[in-house]
Structure 1
Amino acid sequence: MTGIRVLSYNVRYANRGDHHDAWHDRRDAVGRLVRFHRPDVAAFQEPLPDQRRDLRERLPEYEFVGRGREADGEGEGCPIAVRSDRWEVVDSDTFWLSETPAEPSTGWDASYPRIATWARVRAVGGDALLVVNTHFDHVSARARRESARLLRERIPEIAATAGDDADGPIPDGPIATVLVGDFNCTPGSDPHRILVGDDPELDDEPAADPADRDGLELRDAAVAADLRHGPETSLTDFARLIDGRRIDHALVSPALSVEAFATLADRDDRGRYPSDHLPILARLSP
């Protein structure tokens, strides 16, 4: 696998109350930011159907997968966009962060339905990558904890289905995995600890390796990176950074080395941030 750049970006839903930061004043800047940094994979959080159409129009070199969180496929989504000149989508799907993940549902006292969208992609040359994109609830701490546990359960199951497809077999062995998204929690919080294999509710002697419990080992790309760039926070009010709120994350499996991790503080031509979140970018290699 050649080097891969994975971007995660909460683009802020189209809220009419945002006034001069309304989506129609931000969408071109969001598109330009992504085109300039040219990620191989771009994972977005919060876009509504019209916003997803706007992103596809502004990023024609990308193939988009993912649906909205409502039963009819509408509502906010967690779409994944893949550069079609370097990668092809082998398989993709969406599940809900709830007790019934296979059907549209709201779990664990969350304020809204929450989802995770995944895509298994293959690089030109045959190497495969699993990308999972999610957005945890912003109100319920219990929902964030249980969503993290569900992801640790589901990701190995998805990875295990990496078998033959119409264009030939995906290589044997653990598939390289990247989990990105807006987790609505900071490093060291319970959901973050759960995702990196340090569940605070496991009171037995810890396993020597987190993967010994559920077959999944993930580490925070911001910590593992050889080079770290950008602010320590990922939240804005469109005009200023909000300190101490690194709530957008990229977690990677051992099959990937993290060459660099950046929080991108690009401003638009008005001098404002194009969203109330900063995008994050991980540069990875096998």
Structure 2
Amino acid sequence: MNTMLAYFNGKIIPLEEVKISPFDRGFQFGDGVYEVIRYYPPKLFQIDFYIERLKGSLEKMEIKVGSLEFLKPAIMELLTRNNLLDVPSIAYLQITRGVQYPRRHDYADELTPTILIYTSELPVKNEILTKGIKVGLEDDLRWLRCDIKSISLAANAAAKQHAKEKGFEETIFIRNGLITEGAHSNVCFVKDGKVVTPPLSNLILPGVTRRTVLLLCKELGIEVEEREIQSAELNRFDEVFMTATTAGVVPVIEIDGKVIGSGKPDKITRMLQEAYNKLVAG
């Protein structure tokens, strides 16, 4: 197997040579942000939207990086040198505030951010896209800045693990009786041909795939309503689907043991999947 390469603090080096200081604030505090960017041959899919969101996360966290012009060429070089140009893949990008010794909660202004990018193959998940998934429900116990794509993901990881243990593919969070989002996805509902989804706020990540799907709804003439959704409403919807960078538009056929609609991916979800796939292929 060929040695995989990574971008680390301005250099392309073997992945196994990447060394993170034990005093990096990302390691000690989860003080950093990240992005996962999809590559569908021959292009990085909607990378400008991801960079825009990354800039927003960095600003909200007050992590000073400077120009991000290096990102696109660095990712493409990694895909090329890691022999991934011909296969669906992802680029994982993480930026922490940097190294600070000794450990303390407040941070110095002059810290140099730690930047890591690596790439890996990630095939399209055709089975879940075709058959749909079963998801669970869980109280949303995360912090109040879920709009930041922070590397502090302990609650998300726990929710994903709980879902796995129960035989679910994903978890939908509920906070104070309201639906927020998935553990690593946004969620949309369909009623009488209308797509309904929670509005963006500090409790919801501004998903790039969510954004794309809502734009596709406009192009297809599908009505969209962004509003608060009560957990008690879940059994009233005709269709449910999740949106995520790694998977696209994923039908939900069951929530916490209750079948959604016909129990199969339905009309609006299929229309949006088809439109999304055309956009990916284009």
Q: Same fold (TM over 0.5)?
A: no
TM-score (structure 2 length as normaliser): 0.25
* Structure with the larger helix share: 2
